[in-house]
Amino acid sequence: MHHGYYIPADRTDHQQAQIDLIDEVLKWANATEAKNVVDVGCGIGGSSRHIAKKFNCAASGITLSPYQAARGNELAKEQGLDSKVNFQVANALSMPFEKDSFDLIWSLESGEHMPDKAKFVNELIRVTAPGGRIIVVTWCHRDLEPSETGLTKKEDKLLAKINRAYYLPRWCSVNDYVDLMKSEGLTDIRRDDWSHIIAPFWRAVIKSSLNLKSAYGLLKSGFSTIRGAYAMLLMLRGFDKGLIKFGLITATKPADN
């Protein structure tokens, strides 16, 4: 489950839009091949399986959820990929992999869940092979202006509501990620903002729930789910106000590291 690539903005093939997002991010990052990829925060492994098939490579995925890891492995077996793809329960801030293990690091919509962004970036770098590429796609807040020391009180309040609903730690900006990567000596660092490309996702999700069956199911699901649904409206508000950014960051680990 992740955002989709909405160009054109009115497309309704939402599942294909999600697949297209993976391909378009890889294209944007100039990632045309890989031998061994790790999906950090893999969910049930959709990105991992797609990349493994696309590049005919090995893929490992880590998640904190035993259910997600088990389901990912089931789907890999069903698709004949179990000899190439595997998923396990592991902490992204302390990955169970040797240094220099992967030539492609993929993290899609998981960085926002990391309580220590510096440790997260350092761990990504540790497992990247020299010459390997790191791709991080994550929710961020806007970059601060040179005259600012932080977000406004209204912006902090909006993010705090979203954090309570989605159990997220404090946010950072895309520029914060860039600074962390620069400080660790990564090269070919590039960034982009795809907020306008994925924003229709939230509208599509909200629109799909505007019927009696969905409303009844939501009411039966309990307070936490209702709060999560309400947070979708808050996310949309944050995108519309320019506070929330769908940030893309990519970098290369120098060959001599």
pLDDT given at position 214? 54
Higher pLDDT, 161 or 223: 161
Q: What single letter denotes the amino acid at residue 23?
A: D
Read off the pLDDT band of 210 (50, 70, 90): low
d(CA 114, CA 92): 8
- What one-character DSSP code corresponds to residue 149? S
What confidence score (pLDDT) does residue 208 get?
A: 61
How many Å from the N-terminal Cα to the C-terminal Cα in the chain? Answer: 35
- Taking only the tens place, the pLDDT of each residue in 105-136 is 999 999 999 999 999 999 999 999 999 999 99
pTM of the model: 0.92
Q: Which domains does the chain have, with CATH numbers?
A: 14-252 (3.40.50.150)
**Chain centroid to CA 54: how far?**
19
Q: How confident is the model at residue 217 (pLDDT cuts 50, 70, 90)?
A: low
Instruction: Specify the amino acid at residue 151.
Output: L
Residues sharing a CB contact under 8 Å with residue 122, sequence separation 6 or more, in sequence order: 184
